[in-house]
Amino acid sequence: MRLPALLALYAALVRLAFRRQLAYRTANLAGLLTNAFFGLLRASLFIALFTSSGTQTTASISGYDLQMAASYTWVTQALIMVVNLWNWWDIETTIRTGDVVTDLARPFSYLGYWLARDYGRAAYFALFRGLPGLLFGQLTFQAGLRWPEGPVAWLLLLLSLSLAIAISFAWRFLLNISAFWTTDARGAGGLYGALVLFLGGFVVPLRFFPDWLQPLLFSLPFAGIIQIPTDIFVGRLGGLAALEALATQALWALLLLGLAQLTVVFAVRRVSVQGG
């Protein structure tokens, strides 16, 4: 296929996946309510950290001031469905039902097909889940949230988010596609969910961990899913340091997507189609 045609194809896939999500309005509203409530609980806890010794307030913890810390909880909360932290088994389902054969037979990249759909899904959740959640945080926190300042910060955020989705997608793709070899894919998925919550910096910012551990934590392929885009959003990461973080993200995205492509090659050899 020629490049313009290919691009048009992927753009169409992104749009379709976006529109597909629009059908689940009530479910999204329920999810939004849940995300907002959890945001409220988590923000309360993080705000309490700054007044831990009675009336005296702490100015900054690990480089986050009160507003940045409160924003941190709301941004991570908004990212849950954008990077789709848990429970995405769309591909595994097609492998169990056999529908995977249709997808593999399509005259374009199997990995690209799902990646494009994931970007469409992510765009939907950024607009209809993430943004309303952030606005809710903005309204409930007196000082308001810390938003990216200036076009450069917004550009960095956009790049970082795109890479975060790619990394998260590659992990989920690998977990799903393991269903070609094992019936236990979901068990491993639970373990991954726990890992990404902690090592991705969702539960607690990675910068709260012991200082000697941080170089390691930031070089793992989990930091790029939550911690890095969130830090760029709240202004904890900018300039050269942000570019360096983006490079780490890009490296992991390429590596994991490459691995995913490799598993597709092996998976295809295992497929045997019964005529009928």
Partner 1 sequence: MPAFPLLHLYLTLVGARVRGQMQYRVSFALSAFGQAFITIIEFGAIVVLFSRVPRIAGWSLWEVALLYALAETSFSSAEFVGSALDDFQLRVSQGTFDRVLVRPLGAFFQVLAEELALRRLGRVLQGILVLILALHNLALVWTPDKVLVLALGLASGMVIFFSIFVLAAAFCFWTVEGKEATHVFSYGGVTLADYPLDVYADWLRRFAIFVLPLAFVSYEPALYLLDRPDPLGLPSWLRLLSPLAALGLALLARLGWSVGVRHYQSTGS
**Contact residues for partner 1, defined by CB under 8 A:** 26-27, 29-31, 33-34, 37-38, 40-41, 44-45, 47-49, 51-54, 58, 61-62, 182-184, 186-188, 190-191, 193-194, 197-198, 203-204, 208-210
Residue with tokens 């045609």: 5
Residue 73 beta carbon to partner 1: minimum distance, rounded to whole angstroms: 12
Residue 40 beta carbon to partner 1: minimum distance, rounded to whole angstroms: 7
- In the complex with partner 1, the residue whose CB is nearer, 182 or 219, is 182
Residue with tokens 């037979």: 105
- In the complex with partner 1, the residue whose CB is nearer, 149 or 184, is 184
Please state, in angstroms and rounded to a whole number, the distance separating the CA atoms of residues 118 and 116.
5
Cβ-contact 146, 234 below 8 angstroms = yes
Q: Is 29 left (phi over 0), alpha (psi -120 to 50) or beta?
A: alpha
Find the length of the chain: 276
- In the complex with partner 1, the residue whose CB is nearer, 14 or 43, is 43
Residue 192 beta carbon to partner 1: minimum distance, rounded to whole angstroms: 9
Q: What is the 8-class DSSP label of residue 168?
A: H
For the chain, what percentages of helix, strand and coil (3-state, to nearest 5) are there? 75, 0, 25
- In the complex with partner 1, the residue whose CB is nearer, 140 or 248, is 140
Residue 246 beta carbon to partner 1: minimum distance, rounded to whole angstroms: 26
Q: Which amino acid is at 67?
A: Q
Residue 144 beta carbon to partner 1: minimum distance, rounded to whole angstroms: 17
- In the complex with partner 1, the residue whose CB is nearer, 47 or 101, is 47
Closest by Cα among 152, 149, 84 to 119: 84
Q: Which amino acid is at 180?
A: F
